[in-house]
A = this chain, B = another copy of it.
Amino acid sequence: MRYSSSRKADTRKRILREAAYRFRRNGVEGTGLVPLMKALGLTQGGFYAHFESKGALVQASLEEALAQRRERWRDLGHDELAAFLADYLSKRHRDNPGEGCPLPSLAAEMGLRGNPSAATDEVVTQLAERLAGCALRPDDNGRGLVVLAALVGALSLSRAVSEQELSNRILEAVRLALQPGN
């Protein structure tokens, strides 16, 4: 059955959003195409009208996730920094990986599975540049990369430990250490 002309683009976008959510929440390997399509009220066969393979979806949805996130740091200046850090290192971000930054969720899996993507380089470079203003020591070279590494590591660890109190301490310690002025 053929649908209205804009429907294909709509469906593609719906698949992309759902995938971007699921990959971050359950990992790439932990996300199957059949349940994903079913969640959208579609069947698995229709997937290939929109994407060549699961790999192509991974690439596209990584970019989708980055695009969603990019707005958050697009106009990141010195004044917005504290708020940005508090948000990134919040319990909400920790407890909702599906809507969060893809780096803590997916960097390890991408690295181990030999799935490096130019999109990852782009987000690392761009985010590090924005963060450079909040360096631990403002004259450090590559200070933005250090801040980014601390953010990504803090989120990963805060999700992996079993004691909630330890998890909170990780987030709080990193937030305090990266606070502008520190």
**Interface of A with B (CB < 8 Å)?**
25-27, 29-30, 97, 103-113, 116-118, 120-121, 124-125, 136-137, 140-143, 145-146, 148-154, 156-163, 166, 169-170, 172-174, 176-177, 182
One complex includes copies of this chain to the number of: 2
The answer to whether B146 touches A173 (Cβ under 8 A) is: yes
Instruction: Tell me, in angstroms, the Cα distance from A62 to B98 when the chains sit together.
Output: 26
Contacts A149-B157, A153-B150, A157-B148: A30 and B124 contacting too (C-beta < 8 A)? Answer: no
Instruction: Tell me, in angstroms, the Cα distance from A162 to B157 when the chains sit together.
Output: 23
Q: Return the contact of A170 from the options B104, B149, B173, B177 (Cβ within 8 A).
A: B149
The answer to whether A108 touches B176 (Cβ under 8 A) is: no
Q: Among A140, A154, A161, which residue has the most Cβ atoms of chain B within 10 A?
A: A161
Instruction: Tell me, in angstroms, the Cα distance from A111 to B182 when the chains sit together.
Output: 29
Instruction: Tell me, in angstroms, the Cα distance from A123 to B43 when the chains sit together.
Output: 44
Q: Return the contact of A173 from the options B27, B125, B140 (Cβ within 8 A).
A: B140
The answer to whether B109 touches A27 (Cβ under 8 A) is: yes
The answer to whether B105 touches A108 (Cβ under 8 A) is: yes
